[in-house]
């Protein structure tokens, strides 16, 4: 059972996750991206619920989504949209995230979304690049203002 301070941090993280998901839904609807095409729900849970972990830091959060989306776009342009291409893109994304020190497990869905939905190159910038950056900014503000915990532990 967590002590009172840990319980408060957990609740504040949960509320922050709910607020972040609500904002994501509003931006998704406003920009004509269906929510299934915006790959941030798991990232929000990780960054808000376990902000002290390595994959929840800005470099993996932003870099992981960009790297995985880029790999998905490259595979899509080489192989076309298919389940096998999506599977290959996920495998290559895992390797690419490790090589770039941007390992963020929730970003592993990005190449699947890209390949299976035949996304265009603009998907890399919006919603992925802009969304990852906005999530990092939101997490910074939320954790430092409400959770009273310094976030991030390191930027790069």
Whole-number average pLDDT of the chain: 93
pLDDT at 24: 87
pLDDT at 34: 65
In a domain, 154, yes or no: no
CA distances from 109 to 30, 64, 67, 128 (A): 22, 11, 12, 12
Res. 61: pLDDT tops 80 = yes
In the chain, pLDDT over 90 holds for what percent of residues?
79
In a domain, 99, yes or no: yes
Q: Which domain holds residue 18?
A: 4-147
Domain total of the chain: 1
pLDDT digits (tens, 9 = 90+) for 94-141: 999 999 999 999 999 999 999 999 999 999 998 999 999 999 999 999
In a domain, 61, yes or no: yes
d(CA 45, CA 60): 14
Phi, psi (5° rounding) for residue 15? -65, -45
Which pTM value belongs to this model?
0.93
In a domain, 155, yes or no: no
In a domain, 156, yes or no: no
pLDDT digits (tens, 9 = 90+) for 68-100: 999 999 999 999 999 999 999 999 999 999 999
In a domain, 36, yes or no: yes
């Amino acid at each position: 059972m967590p002590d009172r301070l840990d319980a408060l941090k957990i609740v504040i993280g949960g509320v922050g996750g709910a607020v972040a998901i609500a904002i994501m839904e509003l931006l998704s609807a406003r920009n004509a991206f269906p929510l299934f095409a915006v790959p941030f729900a798991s990232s929000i849970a990780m960054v808000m619920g376990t902000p002290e972990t390595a994959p929840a830091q800005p470099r993996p959060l932003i870099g992981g989504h960009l790297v995985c989306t880029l790999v998905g776009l490259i595979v899509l342009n080489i192989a076309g949209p298919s389940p096998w291409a999506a599977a290959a893109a996920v495998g290559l994304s895992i390797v690419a995230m490790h090589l770039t020190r941007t390992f963020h497990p929730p970003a592993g869905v990005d190449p699947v979304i890209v390949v299976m939905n035949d996304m265009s190159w603009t998907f890399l910038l919006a919603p992925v690049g802009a969304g990852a950056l906005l999530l990092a900014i939101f997490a910074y503000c939320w954790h430092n203002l409400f959770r009273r915990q310094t976030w991030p532990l390191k930027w790069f």
